[in-house]
Amino acid sequence: MRRLLARRMKFHLFGAFFVSLGCAALYKFGVAEPRKRAYAEFYKNYDPMKDFEAMRAAGVFESAPPK
């Protein structure tokens, strides 16, 4: 029973490190990278003036009344 806590702590410390490393990798490649690609694809063809004119025509802005 000597040093039982130290042995178990070492095992759990390494296990927790590798599990957290795995979770970080899964998040990066499963969430962050697809999100970056989606934003890049959206802004590749995005025209802010066209969007502004559509919102202006819909009456969204108080300072820029519809024409």
* 56: CATH: 4.10.93.10
Question: What pTM was computed for the model?
Answer: 0.68
Q: Is residue 5 one of the residues assigned to a domain?
A: no
Place of tokens 């559509």: 54
DSSP assignments along 15-35, one per residue? HHHHHHHHHHHHHIIIIIHHH
Q: Is residue 13 one of the residues assigned to a domain?
A: no
Q: Is residue 42 one of the residues assigned to a domain?
A: yes
Domain with 57 in it:
29-66
pLDDT digits (tens, 9 = 90+) for 16-44: 999 999 999 999 999 999 999 999 999 99
pLDDT range class, residue 67, cuts 50, 70, 90: confident
Q: Taking Cα atoms as reference points, which of 47, 51, 53 lies closest to residue 64?
A: 53
pLDDT at position 2 is: 86
Q: Is residue 15 one of the residues assigned to a domain?
A: no
Q: Is residue 40 one of the residues assigned to a domain?
A: yes
- Rounded to whole angstroms, the maximal C-alpha distance in the chain is 83
- Name the domain count of the chain: 1
* Cβ within 8 Å of residue 67, ≥6 positions away: 56, 57
Q: Is residue 59 one of the residues assigned to a domain?
A: yes
